Structures are given as C-alpha cells and as structure tokens.
C-alpha cells in the first residue's frame, strides 16, 4: 500500500477540511489572542517588538498546522523514527555549533528563526514512542527487556538537553516520556522501582548540577533567604499575583510589570502579568481555556482506533498540559523557576511553532480517527 501524504481511500481533501475540528482551532485562536494582548501590554501599549512578531509567527504556524492535519496519519507513523533521529541529531549540532544566549547553548541560528531543537524533540519523542509501542503491542510491554529502547529514547535527548544546560526542558522530556510509558500499559511497580532508584541517586544528581541550578532549587525552598538576589524574581512574581486581587488592576495598569519589577514579563512570567491586570478571574479564565484544550485532546485520543494514533494524541495532550502546569506552578512558587514558557501566550518562535505542529498532528488523528492500522502500518479490515 502507498503511504502518500494525503492518501486515504475514504476521504477526499475537501472532505478532510470539513472534518477539521474547527472548535479546537477557534479555541487556539482565542488563547493566542490573549497572548497578543498581553505582549502588547508587556511593551507598555506598543505592538512592537513582541506582539506583531508573535502574530506573524502564529499566522504562519496556523497554516502549517492545517497542512499537517490533512496529512495521512500513517505517513507520520512511517517516518516517526526518522523524525526522532533528526531531532536527536539537531541536539548534537547544538552541542557542537549552537548559539549561546543567557548563559546556555540551546539555539541554532537559521537566519529567519532561532531554532531550539529541544522544543522540536518534545514532539519527536512522542512520535517515536508512539510508533514503538504501536509496533510491540500491549502484551509485550510487560517484558522488562522491551522497555530498554524507549528508556534510551527518553534518556538520550534528556541528557543532551541537560548538558546545554536546560533543566526545565530535560525534566519535561522525562515527564512526557514517562507518561507515555504509563499510557502504553507499563506496569506501575516498574515506575515505583525506577522512582526508588531515582531517589537513591539524588545525592549524585545534586553534585552534577551547576551552581545556578542548585540556587534555583534552594531559592524555591526558601526565596526569602536572598530577597534581593536569587529569590528576587519569585518574590516579585508573588507580589504581583497577590496585588491583582479578584478582578485585577486593569489592562495596562499592572504596576509590578510596568514599573519593571517583574522579570521576563514577555516570556516566563507573562502569567503573573495577566493575573496582576485581570486578577484571579482572568487567571482562572485562561486556565479554563487550557482545560478545554486538554478535554479536546483526550476526547480525540479516545476516538482513535489505532494504537499509534491514540498514543500520539495522548502524548501531545500530556505535553501541552506540562507546558502550562509547570509554568504556572513556577511563577506561583510551587516549583523552581526553570524557564518553561506559557503555551500560546509567551513570546517565542520555536515553542509556538512546535506547539502548533503538535496540534496539527492531534487534528490529523481526529480526521483519520477511523483508520485501523496494523503493527506494520497496513490497514486492518
């Protein structure tokens, strides 16, 4: 059988367009519009330098998302390992010739965009693991030897990202990969065993951390210990969150953010600025929009008839959840500050692009949800 980009014996291209989940697309547009407004506010009422660029990026990414959604899901299954290896190769390139920014070597300068391969790996890892567990079948996941390859697939990029150093993204890769292992049917006792080994290795891991990473963890435990140094960012974030009250100070009226007390307000701490200007009501509203996206993701996964499509949709949904959960936990002081952006809201090119690619794959699962795919990728009757 042919595995062309848009092959499907049951649907034409026009029928696929009608099958698009337009409510999910509308929801993504609404969330991004909130992001544009907050970037406008972050620039003190100016569209430059962040809001206009983010709009242009979103427009391009939205078109790419639609194209990806129309592609036959079997195409992604066939090329999943290649995509994973390509993303892994990009991480190696970063180590050799990556650009250094803010004390870390994480980007590849492509001229048009600064590509961050660790963001690409978040989607590539899910593709690779979904392909693997589709091939081995549910029964074989009970065999410990069958888990060696997926553990290596998670560990290799996580170590490369940790070396950049980027503790937050490395943690996301491990959490997303572990979640997919659980969703694929790996027994709970194996997670408990690995977790116990991980706890025993904490002293060794602590010794391998860089000084600023140790300071972030210590600051998380007691930010008041150094209020003008390492604890400054999280203390200012908490002040801004509290000052917003129930309904906020009003659009463009956030004192902590506009008087430059709030750090990285266009990226890591943009949720804090939103909560200061729109209060608990605005923050809860945004979280509600995120929860709706999660509900759509799980609903799409449950309707998929193939294991690959189901695991792909579940993995992408969990990945999206980790983005906003970690960012909000980070700025509220529930987790150390690790530099994870707020999805579809924070300023950034690669993160937005990979998120929209992920949603394209998710909608591709929705369009091709009735396909039954055998372990080799051939349709089942």
DSSP symbols for 81-113: HHHHHHHHHHHHHHHHHPEEETTEEEEEE-SS-
Select the more confidently predicted residue: 79 or 112.
Answer: 79
Long-range contact set of residues 296-303: C-beta below 8 Å, sequence gap at least 24: 296/21, 296/23, 296/24, 296/27, 297/362, 300/21, 300/362, 300/363, 300/365, 300/366, 300/369, 301/365, 303/366, 303/369
Least confident of 42-51, 110-119, 268-277, 355-364: 110-119
- pLDDT value of residue 34: 97
342: which DSSP letter? P
> What is the greatest pairwise CA distance in the chain?
66
Q: What percentage of the chain exceeds 90 in pLDDT? A: 52
H helix or E strand, kind and range, residue 299? helix 270-303
pLDDT at 318: 96
Instruction: Output 206 or 18, whichever has higher pLDDT.
Output: 18
Q: What are phi and psi of 36, to 5 degrees?
A: -60, -45
Burial category of 269 from C-beta neighbours within 10 Å (exposed 0-12, middle 13-18, buried 19 and up): buried
In this structure, of 96-110, 199-213, 359-373, the range with the lowest mean pLDDT score is 96-110
pLDDT higher than 60, residue 102: no
Highest mean pLDDT among 113-122, 130-139, 173-182: 173-182
pLDDT at 370: 86
Kindly report, residue by residue over 343-358, the tens digit of the pLDDT.
999 998 889 999 999 9
List the end-to-end C-alpha distance of the chain, in Å, as a whole number: 14
- Per-residue confidence (pLDDT) for residue 226, from 0 to 100: 62
Mapping DSSP to helix (H, G, I), strand (E, B) and coil, where does residue 180 land?
Answer: helix
**Burial class of residue 195 (count of CB atoms within 10 Å of its CB; 0-12, 13-18, 19+):** exposed
What is the average pLDDT value for the chain, to the nearest integer?
Answer: 86
> What pLDDT, on the 0 to 100 scale, is given for residue 1?
40
Average pLDDT over residues 76-87: 96
Question: Residue 88 has what pLDDT?
Answer: 95
380 has a pLDDT exceeding 90: no
Greater confidence (297 vs 199) lies with 297
Using the predicted structure, report yes or no on whether residue 381 has a pLDDT greater than 50. no
**Interatomic CA distance for residues 377 and 58, integer angstroms:** 33
Identify the pLDDT of residue 2.
43
Handedness of CA 88, 90, 91, 96 (dihedral sign): positive
Q: At what angle do helices 270-303 and 349-367 cross, to 10 degrees?
A: 20
The tokens describing 68, both together, are: 């990806």
């Amino acid at each position: 059988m042919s595995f062309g980009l848009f092959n499907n014996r049951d649907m034409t291209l026009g029928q696929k367009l009608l099958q698009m989940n337009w409510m999910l697309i509308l929801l993504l547009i609404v969330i991004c519009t909130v992001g544009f407004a907050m970037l406008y506010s972050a620039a003190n009422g100016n569209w430059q330098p962040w809001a206009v660029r983010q709009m242009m990026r979103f427009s391009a990414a939205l078109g790419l998302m639609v194209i990806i959604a129309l592609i036959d899901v079997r195409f992604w299954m066939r090329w999943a390992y290649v995509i994973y290896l390509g993303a892994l190769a990009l991480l190696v390139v970063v180590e050799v010739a990556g650009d250094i920014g803010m004390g870390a070597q994480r980007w590849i300068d492509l001229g048009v965009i600064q590509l961050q391969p660790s963001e690409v790996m978040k989607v590539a890892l899910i593709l690779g693991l979904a392909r693997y567990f589709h091939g081995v079948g549910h029964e074989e996941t009970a065999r410990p030897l069958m888990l060696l390859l997926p553990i290596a697939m998670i560990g290799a990029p996580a170590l490369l990202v940790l070396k950049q150093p980027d503790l937050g993204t490395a943690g996301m890769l491990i959490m997303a990969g572990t979640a997919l292992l659980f969703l694929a049917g790996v027994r709970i006792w194996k997670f408990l065993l690995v977790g116990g080994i991980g706890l025993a290795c904490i002293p060794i891991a602590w010794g391998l951390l860089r000084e600023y990473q140790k300071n972030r963890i210590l600051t998380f435990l007691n930010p008041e210990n150094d209020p003008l140094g390492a604890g400054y960012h999280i203390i200012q974030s908490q002040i801004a969150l509290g000052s917003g009250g129930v309904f906020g100070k009003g659009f463009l009226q956030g004192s902590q953010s506009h008087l430059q007390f709030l750090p990285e307000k266009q990226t890591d701490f943009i949720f804090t600025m939103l909560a200061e200007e729109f209060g608990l009501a605005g923050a809860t509203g945004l979280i509600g929009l995120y929860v709706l996206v999660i509900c759509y993701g799980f609903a799409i996964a449950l309707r998929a008839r193939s294991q690959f499509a189901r695991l792909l949709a579940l993995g992408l949904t969990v990945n999206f959840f980790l983005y906003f959960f970690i960012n909000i936990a980070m700025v509220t002081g529930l987790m150390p500050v690790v530099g994870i952006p707020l999805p579809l809201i924070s300023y950034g090119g690669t993160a937005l692009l990979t998120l929209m690619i992920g949603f394209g794959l998710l909608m591709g699962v929705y369009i091709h949800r009735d396909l039954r795919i055998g372990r080799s990728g051939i349709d089942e009757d």
